[in-house]
Every structure is written in structure tokens, then in C-alpha cells.
Structure 1
Amino acid sequence: MNSTATADQAPLTNFTQCHAGIVRRLHALDELPALLEPAMRARRIAEESLAFFREAIFEHHLDEERELFPAVLASAEPGPERERAQRLVEHLTTQHRQLEALWRSLERELKRVARGQDSELDVGDVRRLVADYTAHARLEETEFLPLAETILGRNGNHMAALGLSLHLRHAPQPVPYV
């Protein structure tokens, strides 16, 4: 009689097991809202970073290399000052190329993240880009820009010329009338 009772309860046991599976899935679903916000944030950060790097950082490097670095080198006093400025300019320019290359290696996967697609983004390279760029900016802030201020500050015309050059480079270009 015991085995008959167990056989008779089998359909109910199947429902109970089914409910346990359903409840387990519902608990997993309940985690979804907490995961959506970080996923949306990841997409937004990737999207904004893509635009920012292309529009701001690449332009910043061009400004330095086309305007600031040549102005400093042209105004530096011959000898140790010019040699120091030259070494820094060469080092900073090399860093620009390295940072840009690292960025390009990340760009494709960042686009996938921005679109909410699965990605194999190299987290180590992201961290390396952040650390390397932070160190680059620190070098500019602590060594090159104070030197540039000393060199260009000797002659107000040099500083004004740099300001005008940067302004003209970023000013909207007039549309010719045809």
C-alpha cells in the first residue's frame, strides 16, 4: 500500500518540483532590475568615451603638437632649456602615439559595449589606458606646462600668438557664398 500511495502522489510531486524551478527562475528574474542600471551605465560610459576620445583627446593632442610644442621650442633659450623642452616634447609626442594606439585597440569592443552587445573588452588594457593617460597628464602638468609658462611668459606676444592660433584653429569657419 505504501508503494501505491507513492505512485499516486507522483503527479503532485512533479508539480511541486516544477514550482520549485519556477520560483528559482523568478528569483533570478528579480535580480534583473539591479543589473539593468549598471548595464545602461556601461553603455553610456562607452558611448560617451568614444565621442570624447575622438572629439576632445585627439584634438587636444593636435593642439599641443601643432601649436604649443612648436611655440615653446621656438621661444626656448638655446642650450639646456631648449634641450629639456625638446626631450619633453619628444617624450610627450611618443606618449600621444602610444595612447592613441592603445585607444584604437579598445575602440571596436567599446563600440560593442555602447550598442549593448556582448564584448571581449580587455579590462587590463582599459585600466592601462587610464593609468598611462593619468601619468601622461601628470607629466604635462608638473613638468612641461610650468616650463612652457616660463618660456612663453617671457614675451607676452608669444603667449598672445599661441592664444590667437588656438582660437583660430577652433573658430567656426565661415561658409563661402557661392
Structure 2
Amino acid sequence: MAGLTAAAVAGVAFLAYQAAASAPSPARLAEPAPGKSPAAHATLPPRKKPEKKDVFAVPADSGVGMRVVYALGDRRVWLVNEQGRATRTFEVVPSTVSPPPGTYAVTSRSGSITGSDGVQIEHVVRFTSVENVVIGFSAAVDGSMPTPDPAAGKTGGVRMQRADGDAMWRFATVRVKVVVVP
């Protein structure tokens, strides 16, 4: 794993060097074309590029210890071990009803059922209910992850890929903490 990371970093550094070597200088970019006045934005400082987020970085406000972290805004889940490190992270498709930020615990699980949207699902891990809608993680057996239609009714299934559902099933047993962050 460390070798792959080192190779990736070296590749990115090489590509960054090539890009920097072939790019015109900032002074050259700011020069107006012959017979033209300089553009108003030419003297503004360059905008800082957004930093790439480390997807394995567990949200800071998600507690400590072994837990499932579900970030509503990022539409992402982390499976966090007892040392506070993410062992897996993946994107999810939220349901039409979302739980408020807070700390919950896995209350029940089902290996295979039909979801409230009529789709056959597996590895259902439930952790709360909101407005009489049970909220939990699941994976569609057919691998689909469509965005649910709120007009079709309230659903509580947070969908994930089947491989991620397998990992969730092994990790999130009854009483495991689930932390929902904004």
C-alpha cells in the first residue's frame, strides 16, 4: 500500500512539474495584447485552488471510537475502527427523509427484504426513525442507486453499492454507534 501511495505521489509531482514548466509566466499572462488595454481582472491575485479533500479523513465532529459516520452534506459514509481511523469510506444516495445530526445506534438488521420503494434490498442496517419512517443503510440487489423521488412518498433507505453494503453488514452490528453529521 505504501509503495502504491509513493508511486502515485511521484506521478502527481512529475505531472505538476511538467504543467508548471510549460505554462506561461503570470507576468506574460497579464500583458495586454498589442493595441488593447489590460483587462480589469489581470491585476487581481490568482484565486487559490480548492484543496483536494482526503476522503479517508473522518469528520472531526463525529465523536471517538468505533462508529459509522454518515455525513449528510457529503453524501458519504465512513466505517471507523476503535482507533478512530476509517477502514472504508464510500458515497451513498440519501433517502427522502434524513435523520437530524446526532448520535444513534444500530437497532436492527435484515439480510434481505423488499424496500419501501419496492426494490429488493440486502444488508439493511437500521438506526433510527423520523416522522414514522425507519432510517437505515441498504444496498439494492440489482446494484441500482437512483435518487429517490420525494413525490413518490417518504423513504428512509440510504443506498450504497453492494460491495459497500457487504462491508457495512460486517461492521455495523446491533448497538454499534452511528453518528450523523451535517
Give the TM-score normalised by structure 1. Answer: 0.22
Structure (1/2) with the larger helix percentage: 1
Structure showing the higher strand proportion among its residues: 2
Q: Using CA pairs below 8 Å that are at least 6 residues apart, which structure has the higher relative contact order?
A: 1
Q: Which one has the largest radius of gyration? A: 1
